[in-house]
Amino acid sequence: MANAPQFVIDGLKASIEDKEILKGINLTINGGEVHAIMGPNGTGKSTLASALMGHPKYEVTEGSVQLDGEEVLEMGVDERARAGMFLAMQYPSEITGVTNSDFLRSAINARREEGNEISLIKFIRQMESKMKQLEINPEFAHRYLNEGFSGGEKKRNEILQMMLLDPKIVILDEIDSGLDIDALRIVAEGVNSMRNAERGFLIITHYQRLLNYINPDFVHVMMQGRIVKSGGPELAQRLEAEGYDWIKEELGIVDETVGQEA
């Protein structure tokens, strides 16, 4: 049996074009745990997701990120994926000329040893079964990656990738945006079916709605590039009922976005 992963973010600071966006993020995710990060727009949530995955636009200026004791920040994007990290992006990219099934198969094989590639038959069987589970039309296997997919179809496709790649640390950035109620349920069930002791989740959302379907162990609130409050699911309930003003009042925050601080 694989060991439960441990993912430790310690004092992470990151900038975009010399503007500091992340101002010291500390968070530990153990295998089996689901952490939700909530927060208004422009508070650095997507920046955190991208910086963790190694997007070149985000310059990490301080801190460390370790997965099972290995320094992630020294790894390239592909190495992070091979180490077991997965990010479902808020805005998945369209890639013309690469079919969804070719993309998925190369992503799986990129994480396997040379000579140990997944057989075509086995891959197709796995892909078809997961597509069925996510109620994705089989035709989508042959479409170009995300090209012309609706918002909701892209999100389902991200979950399909996650299911096939079987990562240790899953980061979902607003996987619920653009989903109708049925799609939200299907996506959430897909996520829930992947919850186990060998996997940790970081789920970024600004609606509590998603957390009715995916029950988090921990809820964190992000403002001004920092985690300003942490709690259990009841914190998400309170945010849904009361908004963010009470936290701003409690902490004396005037503007929650990054870069507007006095």
Provide the binding-site residues for ligand ADP, judged by CB under 6 A. Answer: 16-17, 21, 39, 41-47, 57, 257-259
Q: Provide the 8-state DSSP code for 119.
A: P
Helices (H), the chain: 45-53, 77-83, 100-110, 120-133, 151-165, 181-193, 210-213, 233-242, 245-251
CA atoms within 13 A on the CB side of 133: 20
User: Which of Mg ion, ligand ADP, none has residue 100 at its interface (CB below 5 to 8 Å by kind)?
Assistant: none
- Closest contact distance (angstroms) between CB of 44 and ligand ADP is 4
- Closest contact distance (angstroms) between CB of 16 and ligand ADP is 5
User: Which of Mg ion, ligand ADP, none has residue 259 at its interface (CB below 5 to 8 Å by kind)?
Assistant: ligand ADP
Q: Which is nearer to Mg ion, 46 or 101 (CB)?
A: 46
- Closest contact distance (angstroms) between CB of 183 and ligand ADP is 21
Q: Which is nearer to ligand ADP, 104 or 247 (CB)?
A: 247
User: Which of Mg ion, ligand ADP, none has residue 81 at its interface (CB below 5 to 8 Å by kind)?
Assistant: none
Closest to 59 in 3D by CA, of 13, 99, 24, 101? 13
Closest to 38 in 3D by CA, of 255, 195, 254, 223? 223
259 Cα distance to chain centroid: 24
- Closest contact distance (angstroms) between CB of 255 and ligand ADP is 11
Q: How far is CA 53 from CA 57, 80, 243, in A?
A: 11, 7, 29
Residues near Mg ion (CB under 5 A) are 45-46, 90
Q: Which is nearer to Mg ion, 44 or 167 (CB)?
A: 44
User: Which of ligand ADP, Mg ion, none has residue 13 at its interface (CB below 5 to 8 Å by kind)?
Assistant: none
- Closest contact distance (angstroms) between CB of 43 and ligand ADP is 4
Cα 164 to Cα 107: distance, rounded to the nearest angstrom: 9
The pair of structure tokens assigned to 26 is 């500390």
Q: Which is nearer to ligand ADP, 46 or 101 (CB)?
A: 46
- Closest contact distance (angstroms) between CB of 208 and ligand ADP is 16
The 8 Å CB, 24+ separation contacts for 107-114 are 107/81, 107/161, 107/164, 107/165, 108/164, 108/165, 110/78, 110/81, 110/82, 111/81, 111/82, 111/165
- Closest contact distance (angstroms) between CB of 1 and ligand ADP is 36
Q: Which is nearer to ligand ADP, 39 or 190 (CB)?
A: 39
Q: Which is nearer to ligand ADP, 43 or 208 (CB)?
A: 43
User: Which of Mg ion, ligand ADP, none has residue 16 at its interface (CB below 5 to 8 Å by kind)?
Assistant: ligand ADP
Q: How far is CA 27 from CA 9, 61, 253, in A?
A: 5, 17, 21
Q: Which is nearer to ligand ADP, 197 or 251 (CB)?
A: 251
